[in-house]
Every structure is written in structure tokens, then in C-alpha cells.
Amino acid sequence: MNYLNSIKIALNALKRNKFRAFLTMLGIIIGVASVIVMLAIGQGSKKSIQDQMAGMGTNLIFAFPGGEQKGGVRMGNSDAQSMKLSDVEAIEKDCPAISDVSPEVRSSGQAVVGNQNWPTSIFGVNNKYFNIRKYTIGSGRSFTENEINTYAKVCLVGKTVVTNLFGKINPIGQTVRFGNIPLLIIGILGEKGENGMGQDQDDLIMAPYTTVQKRILAITHIQSIAASAASENLNAAAIDQLTKSLRSSHKLKDKAADDFQVRSQSEMVQTFSSISDIMTALLGAISGISLLVGGIGIMNIMYVSVTERTREIGLRLSVGGRGNDIMMQFLIESILLNVFGGIIGISLGIIATKVMSSILNWPVVITTISVVMAFLVCSAIGIFFGWYPARKAASLNPIDALRYE
């Protein structure tokens, strides 16, 4: 058998019916293009979520009081006041995998300057917190140890707060009142924009945790602990060490459940990534169905064309074509249709993706894998759906085929 000849024969046969070949390919073209587009959207949204999460600090670890609930049953003690500053100090000592750790106390309320007021949150933290949450000091300075120790009435403000309360005036050196406590603004936080969930990360005030504890909330415990692992691959170790440290600080017995929960940013990234993976798979599956329909369309046309071209097959058999030659011709025709259709579909899909990202401003990512996959699937469909009609053509008897009306 001569494959080159088979390919030539198949190409000639397709050339004889250019328009039908094109119509046949249309299903595959649309199927492949939609697979490419859908996967690009899915991958794009995954990537943008990951990027935004990374902007929030991938090494971030949170611990907050309250045992885990399993099926509505609280597994550990849930004393909301169980976290103390001493826990933070213990973590600082016990956990080599954790580079920075800060207590966190929060309150919401109105920030007031003169006759302007703005609803926002105040975060009580230490000065490692900026590093942990990837905040920068835009201008001014951070608070000092001394200011923390003396519950100093100082704060840093985010961009949104500045815009809403001061307009164009430089707020450094000015005073803002929060819960009736006047706080001296010593710095402005660098702008961070929205996070992955659309929250404005610049709408906040940061003050020493002691100030928020004593002057605003009048509490002695802390609400949560923020820490960051020394590096991304130390995340698991950091969580482990932090958990152990907290358990020993809280004097929990071996069998007792945690009276706190630990969450890490990388965990959240994973959760969101897997959500968008599911979405990608869903989109892919939907467009995969259209690819399947396209493949069935090709099978249909090939099948009809075997019947329609029975006399042609008879002629080919009579001049010495073997069953195998006929089979190869139809199989190759089907593969060529799919592969050509696939190439056109891939190009169309890439163009559509580019257009969409530039007009609608959607995040899209075209991966080589999705292109290669689409291509392989097309070839496979060509073989799979070409096989049956090709077998039928090859099994024809020369004389029956020639006599076919």
C-alpha cells in the first residue's frame, strides 16, 4: 500500500467537492473554535484569580479563635476571647518557619475629619503587619515600638479614606477621629486596589494594636493572628508549627480539639483555583459536545458520500483498487477534513479570543496544551468517525458497486 498515493487520491476527491468539504468541516471548525475560546476564558479567569491572590500575599496565614464545626457540632472550645498577645509572642519564639507575626484587632465605625465622615474599619496591628499583608508605606512612616507600648494615638490611612476625608489636602500631620478618639496621621498606605473578591483594600485605617485594644475596643484579648511563612514552600511547616505553638499556649490536652482555626492564603488560592478549574472543565465539556456534534456531522456526510459515491468506489475497485485502498481513501478524507477543520477552528478560536480580550477586556489565557489537545481530538475524531463509513466502502463488492443505481 502506498500512503502517499492514498493521500493524493483523498485530496483529489476532496478537491472535487470543495464546497461540501467546507460545509462538512464547519461543524468541526465551530466546535474547535469554541473549545479554544472557552478554555481560554476558563484559564484566564483562573490566572487572574491567582494573580490577585498572590497580590494579597501567598505566604499569608491566619489564626482565629473558635473550634472547627463538623456537621453542626463544634469540635473545640469556642471562647472568642481565648487569643492573647502572649500567643503571638510564643509564635515568634517557637516557629522558625514563620518570618513575621502580628496580632490583629478590628473595629468598624465612622472616621470623622471636620465636617466630613466616612464609614471604614480600623485595624490594630504591629509594624510587621505591613509586610505580612503586602502593604507598603506610601508616604510618612510606620509606628514605632514606643508608640505601640504607650498606646499612642497615631495611625496610617489608606488611599480611599484619604480621598473621602481630605480630598486634595495632604493628610499627614492631620487628625482623624475614630470612635471619638483623635488619631494623628503619621503615614499613608501604598495603593493596593481591589482584591480577588472585589473588596477595596485601601479602605482602612491602621493603628497600633494596643491603641485599638485599649482606647477603642477596651479589650485585652486579640481577635486574630496574622503571620507569614518564611517562604512559599515552608507554608505547610509554618501552619504546623503555628498550630503546635497555639495548642501549647492554650494548654490543650493531646486528645482535645483545637480551640482555634488556621487558614492560609495558599489554601484559598487552591480553593479558588479548583473552583475555576471546575468552571473550565464545565466550559470545555459544553464546547466538547459541539465538537462531538461536528464529528458526527462528518461521519454523517462520509456515510452518505459512501452511498452517493458507490459507483466511484466500483470504478476504483474495477481498475485495481483494493478494499484497503478504498478504506484508506475514505479514512484519510475524514482525517483531512478534521485536521483542516481543526486548524481553521484553532486559528478562528485564537482570533476570537484576542478580539474578546481586547473588546470586552476579559482575562484570557490560550495554553499550548489546549491547542494541542484540540488538534489531537480532531485527528482522533477523524479516525473514529471516518472508520465506520470507510469500512463500509471497503467491503463493497466491485460488481455490486458498479451496478449501484
Interface with other proteins (CB under 8 A)? 1-2, 5, 8-9, 12, 16-17, 311-312, 314-325, 398-399, 402
At closest approach, how far in Å is the CB of 344 from other proteins?
23
Single-letter amino acid, residue 71: G
In the complex with other proteins, the residue whose CB is nearer, 157 or 328, is 328
- Element spanning 1, H or E: none
Of the candidates 389, 293, 297, 378, the one whose C-alpha atom is nearest the C-alpha of residue 341 is 378
Phi and psi of 325, rounded to 5°?
-60, -45
In the complex with other proteins, the residue whose CB is nearer, 2 or 379, is 2
At closest approach, how far in Å is the CB of 389 from other proteins?
19
At closest approach, how far in Å is the CB of 324 from other proteins?
8
At closest approach, how far in Å is the CB of 390 from other proteins?
16
In the complex with other proteins, the residue whose CB is nearer, 9 or 157, is 9
In the complex with other proteins, the residue whose CB is nearer, 97 or 336, is 336
Q: What does DSSP say about strands 204-208 and 154-157: parallel, antiparallel, or unpaired?
A: antiparallel
In the complex with other proteins, the residue whose CB is nearer, 113 or 396, is 396
At closest approach, how far in Å is the CB of 42 from other proteins?
44
The CA distances from residue 342 to 33, 78, 122, 283, 354, in Å, are: 8, 58, 56, 18, 18
At closest approach, how far in Å is the CB of 318 from other proteins?
5
In the complex with other proteins, the residue whose CB is nearer, 17 or 175, is 17
Phi and psi of 404, rounded to 5°?
-55, 130
137-170 burial: b if 16+ Cβ within 10 Å, else e: ebebebbeeebbeebbbbbbbbbbbbebbbeeee
- At 359 the three-state DSSP class reads helix
